[in-house]
Amino acid sequence: MRADVILMKCPETKRTYGVRIEECRGDWLRTWAFPMDEKRAVREGYNKTKITGDFSASEDFNGCPYCGSKDFVFCGRCGKLSCWNKEERITCGWCGITGDITTTTEKINVKSGGDV
Ligand SMILES: [Zn+2]
Ligand SMILES: [Zn+2]
């Protein structure tokens, strides 16, 4: 089984965390989230991950280590993922853009990180 780690941001706490993803029938499932030191993320190359998938949560996905969210928003501007707690007005934890974020069930191209 292929597995990788993508980075997500928690906009409420402005902290970064890693999400372990596993390939499952040609798609990617989010299986585990854990606090991630940003320096370590860069050192391990997690900030360079680029993966296409729909990133559904697995049944036992534990959610964001800071706010507990199991949902995410995909930022159309920077291509990264942030926690989503069902707010109507949403903020990208990476680039700070508000509003212009789409939630989708389509496959998305995630860029994990960059400037963390
Ligand atoms: Zn969060
Ligand atoms: Zn963004």
pLDDT digits 0-9 by tens, 59-111: 999 999 999 999 998 888 888 999 998 888 888 999 998 875 565 566 777 77
The pLDDT, as a whole number, for residue 115 is: 54
Q: Which residues contact 25 (CB under 8 A, 6 or more apart)?
A: none
What predicted TM-score, i.e. pTM, was given to this entire model? 0.84
- C-alpha 9 – ligand 2 centre gap (Å): 10
Determine the distance separating the centroid of ligand 2 and the alpha carbon of 67, expressed in angstroms: 19
Ligand 2 midpoint to CA 61 (Å) = 24
Which residues are registered as beta bridge partners of 3? 22
Q: How far is the CA of 79 from the centre of ligand 2 (A)?
A: 6
Helix runs in the chain, H state only:
38-43
User: 14: exposed, middle or buried (C-beta count within 10 Å: 0-12, 13-18, 19+)?
Assistant: exposed
Please report, for the chain, the start and end positions of each structural domain, with discontinuous segments joined by +: 3-111
CB under 5 Å of ion ligand 2: residues: 75, 77-78, 92, 94-95
